[in-house]
Amino acid sequence: MGNIDYLDVEKFIAAKIAEGLSPKKVRDAVSVTSLVMKCAVRANARKDNPAAAHQIRVPRRKLRPGDVPDMADIERLVSHVRDPYKPAVWLLGFTGMRPSELCGLRVRSIDFTRRRVRISETLLPVHRYAELPYSLVGGPPKTDAGDRDIPIPAWLCDDLAAMLAERGDGQHKGVGRDDFLFVGPTGLPLNLDKFRQDVVRPALRAAGLPEALRTYDIRHSHASLLKTGS
């Protein structure tokens, strides 16, 4: 780790893009490397982070009128989302959080008294690379400003509390504050890829909404609602 420098990371980026890996996947790989290097700096194993400040341009899809779901669309979508994930979709729409931030939420992230959600962690699926297996990797939000508190409606707090109470009934020890807020069918932390595949896409289809609508696009609905004052 001590022998890796900035130029080594640049060569890695160029090589992976030349192999045909998408810029987004290359950026994700470098982001994970940067997190590891950041830990090394904090542990005084390195003085710098050679994986930081690299420019990897990711093509952005331009949003057109109708691409961003409005509140009526979200309500229709949620009505077809299977339990217990309805509160998860509402959180995306009402807070504008990223899907990775949704997956990183813990039970302690919800302040039921003040009716706020604290966003301070992310959880991303990292695909198999070399000898490293496919895994879920936790980390901080994308930017420093990503660590934030957002108000949520009282009824959504009630729905989240009911969801946790129901989940706790099926566990001898109940649900702890450090447990993930949303989990998959097997009890493992929520995987954003599987969440889209198994929950969001079937609901989009059933609601008559475009299946091309990304889970991430629900985040843009929040910004749209703020602009319109809805």
Are residues 79 and 131 located together in one domain of the fold?
yes
Are residues 53 and 79 located together in one domain of the fold?
no
pLDDT in tens, the chain (230 residues): 889 999 999 999 999 999 999 998 899 899 889 989 999 999 999 999 999 999 998 776 665 655 678 888 899 999 999 999 999 999 999 998 999 999 999 999 999 999 999 999 999 887 776 677 778 888 877 665 668 999 999 999 999 999 999 998 766 567 899 999 999 998 899 999 999 999 999 999 999 998 888 888 887 776 656 554 54
Residue 153 has what DSSP assignment?
-
Backbone φ/ψ region at 53: left (φ over 0), alpha (ψ -120 to 50), beta: left
Give CA–CA dist 122/105, Å, rounded: 7
Domain that holds residue 18: 1-60
Whether pTM exceeds 0.75? no
The DSSP-derived string for 164-184 is HHHHHHTSTT---TTSBSSB-
Give CA–CA dist 57/166, Å, rounded: 44
Strand spans (E) along 99-168: 110-111, 116-119, 122-126, 135-139, 148-151
The structural domain count of the chain equals 2
Whether omega before 84 lies within 30 degrees of 0, making that bond cis, reads yes
Q: What is the CATH number of the domain that holds 1?
A: 1.10.150.130
